[in-house]
Amino acid sequence: MLETNPFSILAETVSPFAMQSFIIAMILLIAFGTIIQMIHHKNLTYFLNNAKKAKLQATREIGTSERVSILAKTAVVDIGTTSELGFGKRRLSHVLGMYGTIIFWISSAMLVFCYTGADKSSSAIWSMLWHVGAILTCIGGYWFWFFLRVDVSAEAHPWYRIIKADLFVLALLACSTFGLAWSYAQFNGQIGLSFLFLTLFVIANLVLFGGVYWSKFAHMFYKPGAAIQKNLAEADGSRDNLPPPADAPEQFGLGIKREEPKHY
């Protein structure tokens, strides 16, 4: 099953053009939802104003080579490994979910555009990556949902409590879960279940990409920008209008050792 392209089998009843059009429509929904959210919440205005303020408060000029180095370090460390979460289970679950999702999305596009159709060859590698990406997303996402969420692990709320902020992670998990279930049912020739899971897979994608305005989807674009701005502010001395670090070592007393820190 892992080496089978589920979209190739689907092409027997649904044209590859329709599948390609669906992916393009989802990309347009991401762009539209993000732009509308930026306009409504004035995120871009905030970043621009913050950059102007930092430039006025800077104590030193950053050279081109240093700026490139900061951008590269931010992309590799802060963004690529979600270093702001520190070392631990939350960071690992986010990394699994993030890279699983990236692999799942890229391999979906590759399979549909390059390996689906009567005149197209098959690719065991991209089919394998599609399934592995979905599995990694499920591992990281369900681990986070059931055990690591702040309101579950630190505030003692039940795991089934759902708020609007959960739309992104739930839709993401639904896409991966129903995608795997659809591939399994289709591979085993279970036509009824295959159609059911395919329908749920399509609906989950519509909710995920069509709900960008209401979910945390757009945060994937904001957080890298915020991380870059923060590191540049530390380098030029503006420090986002925060005081410089104290010379004396931090003193917390013994109270910090009384319980395991889990209040995020």
Give me the residue spans of the domains in the chain: 6-55+85-238
Give the per-residue pLDDT at 177.
94
Stretch 4-22: mean pLDDT, rounded? 87
Rounded to whole angstroms, how far apart are CA atoms 173 and 169? 6
Give the per-residue pLDDT at 169.
86
Give the per-residue pLDDT at 49.
75
The 3-state DSSP composition of the chain as helix, strand, coil percent (nearest 5) reads: 70, 0, 30
pTM of the model: 0.77
pLDDT at 71 over 90: no
CB-based burial, 218-237: b 16+ in 10 Å, e otherwise: beeebeebbbbbbbbbebbe
> 115-119, 124-128, 131-135 — which one is most confidently predicted on average?
131-135
Rounded to whole angstroms, how far apart are CA atoms 216 and 164? 9
> 60-69, 74-83, 167-176, 234-243 — which one is most confidently predicted on average?
167-176
- CA-based R_g, the chain, Å: 22
pLDDT at 110 over 80: yes
pLDDT at 264 over 60: no
Pick the CATH number of 6-55+85-238 from 3.40.720, 1.20.1540, 1.20.950, 3.30.160: 1.20.950
| Mean pLDDT lowest among 11-25, 165-179, 209-223 | 209-223
Rounded to whole angstroms, how far apart are CA atoms 254 and 170? 40
Give the per-residue pLDDT at 165.
75
- Coil, helix or strand for 55? helix
Rounded to whole angstroms, how far apart are CA atoms 191 and 9? 12
% of the chain surpassing 70 pLDDT: 81
Confidence of residue 180 (pLDDT cuts 50, 70, 90): very high
Q: Quick one: CA dihedral 121, 124, 125, 128, positive or negative?
A: positive
Q: Between these two residues, 73 and 259, which has the higher pLDDT value?
A: 73
Token digits of residue 123: 């690719």
Stretch 230-237: mean pLDDT, rounded? 74
Confidence of residue 244 (pLDDT cuts 50, 70, 90): low
Stretch 160-168: mean pLDDT, rounded? 76
Ramachandran category for residue 42: left, alpha or beta (phi over 0 → left; psi -120 to 50 → alpha): left
Average pLDDT over the chain, rounded to whole? 80
Map tokens 């993401």 to a residue: 172
